[in-house]
Amino acid sequence: MTIHVPKQHPINLRAARKTDLRSQFGALVYRIRNGKTQVLLITSRKTKRWIIPKGWPMSGFTAPQAAAQEAWEEAGVRGKVHDFPLGFYSYTKEIETRGGLMPMPVLVTVYPVKARKCVADFPEAGQRRQKWMSPKKAASLVREKHLAKMLRDFDARILR
pLDDT per residue over 52-64, tens digit each?
Answer: 999 999 999 999 9
Where exactly are the structural domains of the chain? 25-158
Q: SS3 of 138, please?
A: helix
Q: 65-108: per-residue pLDDT in tens?
A: 999 999 999 999 999 999 999 999 999 988 888 888 888 899 99
CA dihedral 91, 61, 11, 97 (to 10 degrees): 40
If we measure between CA atoms, which residue out of 74, 59, 55 comes closest to residue 129? 74
- pTM of the complete model: 0.86
* pLDDT range class, residue 10, cuts 50, 70, 90: low
Report whether CATH 3.90.79.10 matches the domain 25-158: yes
